[in-house]
């Protein structure tokens, strides 16, 4: 199996290295990653300038662009042979609920999925790498199962792993996306030159962690696997909109 690995924390991330180290013995691994941290970049793609590729001593291909740029270039020009699977991560922090709309980790995986390639976004919940080795082992087990028992169709999975030791993980659950409240307020600051600047506020607190959600699985020490898609249409609203259009 040929696996392409990317991320949104940048090529120097220890989470990326952990994913590579966990998978290199079971698959042919290619790494194409951004040169800097691109957290929150979603599916942003660079169209206003050319992109450059640098080859690092560890054979990583480093792109001066977004996670989506990395996967897009890999699939449309950099690689002689397309991958069988794309892994994005291991991310430093959760991608739960509404996070999937902002996440560069999910964005990279979603780009591969739009090309018809099975893809996995994987995140270690909570900042810090205290249980990164456990997360890498779980990722390895999941990928081994993908090899032994191939899924019957292309997929986009968002996987979150609780930041606990392996022996405290209760198992793996398939989940749906939970919800957060809107983000907290932005904060205003003054620079040394007395210029006003703003920092985006922290993510909102959890508003839906009911049974079956990714939040609920994580809070109960389960790994969550949420199948995602591309179509954001609310089918149930089409009839309502048609009725509304008729009143124009």
C-beta separation of 155 from 227 below 8 A: yes
- The answer on whether 92 is annotated among ligand-binding residues is no
- The answer on whether 39 is annotated among ligand-binding residues is yes
Q: What residues pair up with 208 in beta bridges, in sequence order?
A: 179
Q: How many Å apart are CA 32 and CA 55, to the nearest integer?
A: 9
SS3 track for the chain: CEEEEECCCCCCCHHHHHHHHHHCCCCEEEEEEECCCCCCCCCCCCCCCCCCEEECCCCCEEECCCHHHHHHHHHHHHCCCCCCEEEEEEEECCCCCCHHHHCHHHHHHHHHHHCCCCEEEEEECCCCCCCHHHHHHHHHHHHHHHHHCCCCCCCEEEEEECCCCHHHCCEEEECECCEECCCCCCEEEECCCCCEEEECCCCCCEEECCCCEHHHHHHCCEEEEEECCCCCCCHHHHHHHHHHHCCC
- The answer on whether 9 is annotated among ligand-binding residues is yes
Query: Which residues sit in the known binding site for a divalent metal cation?
Result: 8-9, 39, 91
């Amino acid at each position: 199996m040929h696996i392409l690995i990317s991320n949104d924390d940048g090529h120097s991330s220890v989470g990326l290295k952990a994913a590579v180290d966990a998978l290199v013995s079971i698959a042919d691994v290619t790494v194409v990653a951004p040169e800097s941290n691109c957290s929150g970049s979603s599916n942003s793609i660079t169209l206003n300038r050319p992109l450059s590729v640098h080859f690092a001593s560890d054979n990583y291909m480093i792109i001066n662009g977004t996670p989506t740029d990395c996967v897009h270039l890999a699939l449309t020009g950099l690689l002689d042979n397309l991958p069988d699977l794309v892994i994005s991560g291991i991310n430093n922090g959760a991608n739960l609920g509404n996070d999937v709309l902002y996440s560069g980790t999910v964005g990279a995986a979603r780009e591969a999925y739009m090309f018809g390639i099975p893809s996995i976004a994987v995140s270690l919940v909570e900042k810090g790498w205290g249980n990164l080795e456990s997360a890498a082992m779980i990722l390895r087990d999941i990928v081994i199962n993908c090899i032994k028992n191939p899924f019957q169709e292309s997929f986009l999975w968002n996987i979150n792993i609780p930041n606990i030791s392996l022996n405290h993980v209760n198992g793996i659950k398939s989940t749906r996306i939970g919800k957060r409240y809107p983000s907290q307020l932005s904060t205003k600051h003054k620079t040394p030159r007395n210029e006003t600047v703003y920092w985006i506020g922290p993510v909102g607190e959890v508003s839906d962690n009911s049974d079956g959600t990714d939040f609920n699985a994580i809070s109960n020490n389960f790994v969550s696997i949420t199948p995602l898609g591309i179509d954001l249409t609310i089918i149930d609203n089409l009839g309502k909109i048609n009725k509304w259009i008729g009143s124009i």
